[in-house]
A and B are shown apart, each in its own frame.
Chain A
Amino acid sequence: MQVNENFKPVIVAFCCNWCSYAGADLSGTNRLNYPANVKIIRVPCSCRVNPMFILRAFQKGADGVIICGCHPGDCHYTSGNYFTRRRITLLYSMLDFLGIERKRTRLEWVSAAEGAKFASVMEQFVSDVQKLGPNRRLEDLRCRKQ
């Protein structure tokens, strides 16, 4: 597949406040690089992420959405990330059904201590989305930038 080097994907990252957002902060504190395309939205728990938000992001022109939460068993709210896991699994099959590339959505577990993992996950995700090219299938043309 031809990879368009000039294409700068828009990536929305949902990070839970307790683990992944702190992990993202840690990767900053450790001055680890990851692409600037990633914009983080803080949510209390990964289970706050309504699949609707993900679809909304795609509709508004995001090229990839990544959800980061605490590792299974480590959720600050005991079980929130288990809900996330199930919801995102269902969303995957729905996206498959709609014909949207599965790789545009990702669920990752990043703990507050895993600054390095956060950076490498983001690096990897951005390069995967880069390879997929712009999101055309779900983008609402009415929302497209002029």
Chain B
Amino acid sequence: MQRIGVFVCHCGTNIAATVDVKAVAEALGHEAGVVISQDYQYMCSESGQNLVKNAIKEHKLTGVVVCSCSPRMHENTFRKAAASAGLNPYLVEIANIREQCSWIHKDIASATEKAIILGRAAIAKVHLNTPLTSMESPVVKRALVIGGGIAGIQTALDIAEAGFEVDIVEKEPTIGGKMAQIDKTFPTLDCAACILTPKMVEASQNEKITIHSFSEVSDVKGFVGNFTVTIKKKARYVDETKCTGCGLCTEKCPMKKVPNEFNMGLDNRRAVYIPFAQAVPKVATIDPNYCMMLKNGKCGVCSKVCSAGAIDYKQTDRFVEQKYGAIVVATGFNPIKLDKYDEFAYSYCPDVVTSLELERLMNAAGPNGGTLLRPSDKTHPHTIVFVQCVGSRCDDGKGKQYCSKICCMYTAKHAMLIREKYPDTEVYVFYIDVRTPGKNFDEFYRRAVEQYNVHYIKGMVGKVSPKADGKIDVQASDLLAGEQLHINADMVVLAAAIEPDKTARPLATMLTTQMDTNDFFTEAHPKLRPVESATAGIFLSGACQGPKDIPETVAQASAAAAKAIGLLCKNSITCNPCVAHSDELMCNGCSACEKVCPYGAITYQDKEFRMPNRTTAVRRVASVNPAVCQGCGACTVACPSGAMDLNGFSNSQIMAEVDAICK
């Protein structure tokens, strides 16, 4: 006979205001098997938990029902309390009478009635609960970092620092990401390459870090502590182990007209290339879309000049399989495409550029060697107009609804740098709001206005029209002066919104992590668990989770590393015991369950069974690997013979709940 204790929480007035808790405790006390039914102000408090513990001991309870807040809040609290009083933690059930009752309903009578029914359902379930014990599963002491930008590099360095092996997977030929393309950083104006490249070198020299450049994650299997990842190493037609990065091939390659993506297509590179001088790994890559040898078998110059013999035209994509305990996602961002914003003339006027293009135009390693020149006629621009919020804060279906966060600051930086270097240039910034929350950020923006005399105008640019004389007419509003302006500009710089990288969405599917509608990865809790994804063992680093500047990215990268290290430190993790199991006597080995299992947790064994008249027979039966099973229950429904059942959510338990609700 079951001996069940019912504990009804007031949660201050959160529950008690709309649910008559005394009546609930009274009503549930009359249910079959219930030996004690109490109510208390705060069940989750120390004294509330003691109430439960004492009742378990005193009344020798075999089951506990707590009518309180959502099991997502305090199920663990009460399970721990039960365990400390000697009751198996899985004999505790929660009836959610706060989030799903008292907070929803205003009428006390109907809310109380519902609370009693929810309590009854929980009692009906707990009658059928069985004690469960958690399994331990080992943790592979190796981490995978997806993305080799500043976020990925920082995470990898921190994990390596703690003594664990880390692999970085980067889809480009070099690590470095967006930060490598940036000229200077706000608000200190130090050179991005000067602070990034030492970190890139550190990552490449750290013996705990393996860099898979020009690679992608093609498959992820497994679960926290035990992921098996297939990495596709794309064919770069150069043997990484032989290439010395001398760059001779890139000088001799006759195919010169390849848009250089590192410089945002503002100049050209060869078909065999090293993205930039400080690339890590410093290994050449052949672009098969342009290489004459790969396209029509005629050329082979690079192979002839390479003294190391590193060129290999026959290289194919290779797949590497590796086991990891933790995965950190650091896939970063990209500026949006501006083809939907025709009013800014971006698609047809070369002197209308995005901010990232301007970074390259101003960079010493950029197309103009650091001199700011107009892309169209290579002359010095005298009037430059910056347009903020291009595609950000848009509710028109063309852009993004969110604020891209970094544009205000980098525009102030650009404006300041231009005024500093070319004092004869007039700089106008059209803003809707200037958003500068951050250490030394507002001071930086004010400096641009007060010291560098950048013209900040509250208003938006309505139309950009290139004129026949090469100038650009910028039609805009000055809302404070109540004027419509026409500026005769030489260049227009658009602060394009940023969006998550396109590779993030398929990756999220592989990792079974969640994304928001903008394709940013969703954190497990927006305030309290900002660097973990809801899927155990997957951590988030950098702009893949939301727009971020460099200091925030680095902070989050280190935080994600700390979380990953916390996981890797453990020798084993406790598995959820709510897993499937099959009743071998009922199983007929049909394989229906195996086909629906997303984790491959079900295998078949030939087992000997005793038959009538002292005979035996060998039958094929399903068996579930409890370390791999995640407890989704897909197999339980697929099973035609009803042999498969799920611990903690068994057929009979759910049915008992249904019955209790419909009674």
Chain A residues packing against B (C-beta within 8 Å): 10, 12, 18, 21-22, 24-29, 31-34, 36, 39-45, 47-53, 56-57, 60-62, 73-80, 83, 87, 111-113, 119, 143, 145
Contacts and interface: CB of A to CB of B under 8 A. Distances in A.
B638 interface: yes
B163 interface: no
A28 B111 contact: no
A32 B105 CA distance: 9
A125 B597 CA distance: 32
A33 B104 contact: yes
Given A24-B99, A33-B105, A36-B114, A80 B658 contact: no
Of the listed residues A31, A39, A113, the one surrounded by the most CB atoms of chain B closer than 10 A to its CB is A39
Contacts of A47: 596, 632-634, 637
Interface stretch (B495-503, B582-590, B646-654): B646-654
Given A42-B96, A57-B661, A112-B534, 5 more contacts: A25-B72, A36-B111, A41-B661, A50-B636, A77-B598
Interface stretch (B284-292, B482-490, B509-517): B509-517
Interface in B364-416: none
B104 A44 contact: no
Interface string B98-114: 11110111110011011
Given A41-B654, A76-B534, A10 B104 contact: no
A30 to B, nearest CB: 8
Interface in B81-129: 96, 98-101, 103-107, 110-111, 113-114, 117-118, 121
Contacts of B638: 83
B332 interface: no
Contacts of A79: 598, 634
Contact of A60 (B103, B118, B658): B658
Contact of A41 (B105, B111, B657): B657
> Which one of B71, B99, B631, B632 has the highest number of Cβ atoms from chain A below 10 Å of its Cβ?
B632
A62 B649 contact: no
Given A53-B655, A74-B514, A42 B71 contact: yes
Contact of B512 (A76, A111, A145): A76
Given A25-B70, A48-B637, A36 B107 contact: yes
Contacts of A80: 598, 632-634
B632 A44 contact: yes
Contacts of A28: 70, 98-101, 103-104
A75 B105 contact: no
Contacts, number: 143
Given A25-B70, A25-B72, A77-B632, A60 B663 contact: yes
A10 B658 CA distance: 11
A54 B68 CA distance: 27
Contacts of A145: 663
A58 to B, nearest CB: 9
Nearest to B120: A39
A41 B98 CA distance: 15
B106 to A, nearest CB: 7
B145 interface: no
Contacts of A44: 578, 631-633, 646, 649
Given A24-B100, A48-B646, A62 B661 contact: yes
B662 A61 contact: yes
A39 B114 contact: yes
A112 B651 CA distance: 25
A48 B633 contact: yes
A10 B661 contact: yes
A40 B654 contact: no
Given A22-B72, A33-B105, A77 B630 contact: yes
Contacts of B599: 77
A12 B512 contact: no
Contacts of A143: 662
A18 B631 CA distance: 12
B263 to A, nearest CB: 36
B659 interface: yes
A34 B633 CA distance: 29
Given A31-B103, A75-B512, A83 B637 contact: yes
A76 B631 CA distance: 11
A25 B630 CA distance: 23
A83 B597 CA distance: 11
B230 to A, nearest CB: 16
B655 A27 contact: no
B133 interface: no
A79 B633 CA distance: 11
11 contacts: A28-B98, A28-B103, A33-B105, A36-B114, A39-B118, A43-B654, A47-B632, A50-B654, A75-B512, A77-B632, A80-B633
Interface in B603-634: 630-634
Nearest to B125: A41
Nearest to A74: B514
Nearest to A59: B662
B469 to A, nearest CB: 52
A74 to B, nearest CB: 6
Given A49-B637, A56-B655, A83-B634, A40 B598 contact: no
Contact of A12 (B98, B515, B535, B658): B658
A91 B509 CA distance: 28
A77 B634 contact: yes
> Nearest 5 pairs between A and B by C-beta?
A48-B633, A28-B99, A77-B632, A60-B662, A28-B103
Contacts of A77: 512, 598-599, 630, 632, 634
Most buried by A among B630, B631, B662: B662
Nearest to A47: B634
A114 B651 CA distance: 28
B662 A10 contact: yes
A91 B610 CA distance: 38
Contacts of A112: 514, 534
Given A39-B117, A47-B633, A62-B662, A25 B100 contact: yes
A53 B529 CA distance: 35
Contact of A50 (B72, B101, B651): B651
Contacts of B105: 33, 36
